Chains A and B, each alone.
Chain A
Amino acid sequence: MKAKHIQHLYWRAGFGILPNQVEVLSKLKKEDVIRNLFESSKNVTALKVDTAEIDAVLNGETKRSSEDLKKLQKLSREKTIELNVAWVDRLVNSSELLREKMTLFWANVFVCEDNNVVYIQQFNNMLRQHALGNFKDFVNAVAKEAAMTKYLNTKQNKKQKPNENFARELMELFTLGEGHYTENDIKESAKAFTGYGHNLNGEFVFRRFAHDTTDKTFFGKTGSFKGEDIIDIILEQKQCAKFICEKIYRYFVNGVLDEAHINQMADVFYKDYHIESLMRFVFSQEWFYNEENIGTKIKSPIELLVGMNVLVPIKFNNPKQLLYIQKQLGQTLLDPPNVAGWKGGKNWIDSNTIVLRLKLPSILLNDAYISKMELGESDGMMATKKSAFKNTYGKKFKIEHNWEAFNKNFKDVDVKDLQDYILLSDLNLEARHYLKSLNKVSKHEYCIQLMSLPEYQMC
């Protein structure tokens, strides 16, 4: 398989790839590279932080007073930060690459948020479990998660007075898309989801007495529908397959939709709603490797951060700073802006985020220094400048970076070829001229220069 195509595949199915891995895979056929990718994502490794103290209270083992409750809320907030950091760490280091990338993708389809870390961790692992599985099982699991019944108020949805929040978002954001159902469909299906709830442990509970058993008319069908029936009927609509395929295409292929490609995908997906088959189909298509799809997507903040980490490992000694950066870039994991999630694409970029994105690699990895030495010059002041920057920024960010790993991984790469492994996008003409005029002081400094280009923001 062509090196460039391997890099493309690994940027979309993961967060980039190192030179030695490209070397190994380039000896294989495309089918085998893709097969490997799926093979290595077969297992599901749950993401867990230690929540024993909170579990004990939820299990009823520890009695709780109102003061305990406050303490518990504080603890839950701290654990949520821990979970965020563990998730980022997982994205950097997991061998179940595709499963993790899909989990990140689904977290922005089935958007959910909760202040109880136990529920949100359980939700997160449910996403991981179903990430490559059957979509029908997936939607049903989402509907029954404690965090979701809280987030979209299904637990307040009772037969006396239904709450439409979940029913509406289920169709608008999770399965069909706006305009593909009526207001009446919402009202009727809300009744079918009455009685959904959870116990303190976060297990699903169906409250029989709060459930409306009367007939509901939904998409022209009438019956004493339950939530599962509604999901069945939604999935019978081809629009559902199409809607999800559009989301997949936008995330994994191109923000500009190609109707023909989407229709091919929807045909595959509609057959059995098997997510893995759909993804295999996408990665195997010739069009997936078309020029217009390579290096043309704007990295999400998490893709940017994790991708940098793959290149040069970074450790945040103060986890709150990792969250601070996520926030400034506009994407804090486990804290979506609203139930529609992050819009993605160009929406990541504005005046505020672009300047931070461009400056971030040098801030995190090089004491905020970007070499501007022209050909033939050398910066005798480099060390002084770096230490001055370090005084300004070093105090701000408590981080350790592992350039040794970079040096090892790029040992056999010539400095002039570095660009091929760091950038997927073609260089803008002016940027090429400017880079040519600069001195490649070292692999390390050149790497920072490449990472400080707008081109590095693309994958």
Chain B
Amino acid sequence: MDRRKFLKQSSLASSLFFVPSFVKAFEQVASSELGYKRLVIIQLSGGNDGLNTVIPFRNDLYYKERPTLSIPKNEVIKLNDELGLHSSLTPLKRLYDNGYLSIINNVGYPNPVRSHFRSMDIWQTATDSNKFSQTGWLGRYLDAYGEQPYSAIEVDDNLSLALKGSNMNGIATQDPKTLFNLSRDPYFKNLGKHQNDAHLSEHNLGYLYKTMIDAQSSAKYIYETSKTVSSVKEYPNNKFGKQLKTTAQFINSGLQTKVFYTSLGGFDTHVNQQNTQKKLLKTYAEGIETFVEDLKANNTFKDTLILTFSEFGRRVKQNASVGTDHGTANNVFIIGDQLKKQGVYNNMASLSDLDDNGDLKFEIDFRTIYATVLNKWLEVDDHKILNKSFNQLDFI
């Protein structure tokens, strides 16, 4: 008997035979176990060239501005009459065909900044481009709704600003066993025992204590929970593949974590872009497909939403080094089993109406995507986290 059926039957039985209060308690357990929605963020660092990822293969301007860098029509994997994918993205095309992919075109923000670090901070903090913030959007989600630091995990060696809140930070780990082993010395436990939480993170030393205490409690839970499951799927043998494998292991073991964060770097293609991007997109697409299959096999895909972004797209016109310089708007991929609008969400950016720099003018503010995900997927008050109201989109 599967779990859902069992729960249905037993709650039916309970409504007949048991007192109502017990039913209520039981339903609460059931709802926290079932339909436990998770969000996975994949960051493509360096500024992926969106125009050579989702390609407007009917647009003469595209070929005119990129005489040696454009993807020839016959190599494009066609999605419709206008748009196609880079030839490395065959696995992504399969997800598209199954209705698991929604491509949101022309995503950016007002007054774009072309610095990697600033633009990445803007995406991670979800603030206006002229405002600075010490907290990330997922960190503020933790502050407001996170139950434990491990409510958000970055599957990497270091924690990104995105997962840093004022009172709570997410956990960074690629290797739960090592984390657990390093943190378990009773000496550290004794040091953390009587610390008064309230003012700890106000200064540097307190921040160390607080992070130590959070790491201790989370490390044990993450390790002991996740070790029960190991993946049988074969992931591509690279760092990104490993990160996704660990993420799947965390999800499939039922870890009470709402948000996972991973990244794939190297997209800053100023010089000889073709080979670099080809390789990176292949790594991305192969990894993602395996990840989705792994989740499907464990019946967790339906409750997982995967969002892929990059800090900016690249300039329409290629540069002198068969590469591209920093640009603005870009595409965002949403992958999941419960998409309302599958396929291509909106039209491609205009290549004739560019800004003074020769860059795309964005159409969709990335924070409307965050707002939608927060509100409709994680079911929280997006305004409280983004400190502003944004229109909701209808991809989920």
Contact = CB atoms under 8 A, between A and B. Distances in A.
A350 B205 contact: no
Nearest to A356: B182
B190 A434 contact: yes
B115 A178 contact: yes
A298 B207 CA distance: 10
Contacts of B117: 338, 340
Given A351-B219, A356-B182, A156 B270 contact: yes
B157 A428 contact: no
A454 B209 contact: yes
B351 interface: no
Interface in B207-223: 207-209, 211-212, 214-216, 218-219
Q: Which 9 A-B pairs have the closest CB atoms?
A: A161-B320, A156-B321, A350-B159, A351-B215, A454-B208, A355-B182, A355-B183, A350-B172, A370-B187
A428 B205 contact: yes
Interface residues of A, number: 53
B186 A372 contact: yes
A213 to B, nearest CB: 17
Interface of A: 153, 156-158, 160-165, 168, 172, 178, 183, 255, 296-298, 327-328, 330, 338-340, 345-347, 349-356, 358-359, 362, 370, 372, 425, 428, 430-431, 433-434, 449, 452-455, 457-458
A158 B173 CA distance: 44
Interface in B68-94: none
A449 to B, nearest CB: 8
Given A327-B157, A352-B171, 20 more contacts: A160-B320, A168-B326, A178-B113, A183-B356, A183-B357, A330-B157, A349-B207, A349-B211, A351-B159, A351-B171, A351-B218, A352-B174, A358-B182, A359-B183, A372-B186, A428-B206, A428-B209, A434-B191, A449-B187, A453-B191
B172 A351 contact: yes
B260 to A, nearest CB: 14
Contact of B325 (A165, A351, A356, A362): A165
Interface of B: 113-118, 149, 157-159, 169, 171-174, 179, 182-183, 185-188, 190-191, 193-195, 203-209, 211-212, 214-216, 218-219, 270-271, 319-321, 323, 325-326, 356-357
B212 A354 contact: yes
A159 to B, nearest CB: 9
Contacts of B214: 351
A457 B208 contact: yes
Given A183-B357, A330-B157, A454-B212, A178 B191 contact: no
A362 B185 CA distance: 11
Contact of B157 (A328, A339, A346, A370): A328
Contact of B208 (A339, A354, A359): A354
A347 to B, nearest CB: 8
Contacts, number: 146
Given A156-B270, A178-B115, A352 B205 contact: no
Contacts of A354: 208, 211-212, 215
Contacts of B183: 355, 359
25 contacts: A153-B321, A157-B320, A162-B319, A163-B323, A164-B325, A164-B326, A298-B207, A327-B157, A330-B157, A338-B117, A340-B117, A346-B204, A351-B169, A351-B179, A351-B215, A351-B219, A352-B174, A352-B179, A354-B208, A354-B215, A358-B212, A359-B185, A425-B205, A454-B205, A457-B208
Nearest to B196: A430
Nearest to B200: A428
User: Most A CB atoms within 10 A — which of B182, B321, B357?
Assistant: B182
B205 A355 contact: no
Contacts of A328: 157
A246 B261 CA distance: 32
A372 B185 CA distance: 10
A24 B172 CA distance: 45
Contacts of B270: 153, 156, 163, 165
B92 to A, nearest CB: 26
A93 B316 CA distance: 52
Contacts of B118: 178
A276 B220 CA distance: 50
B203 A431 contact: no
Given A163-B325, A452-B187, A158 B205 contact: no
Nearest to A157: B320
A372 B158 CA distance: 30
Nearest to B315: A164
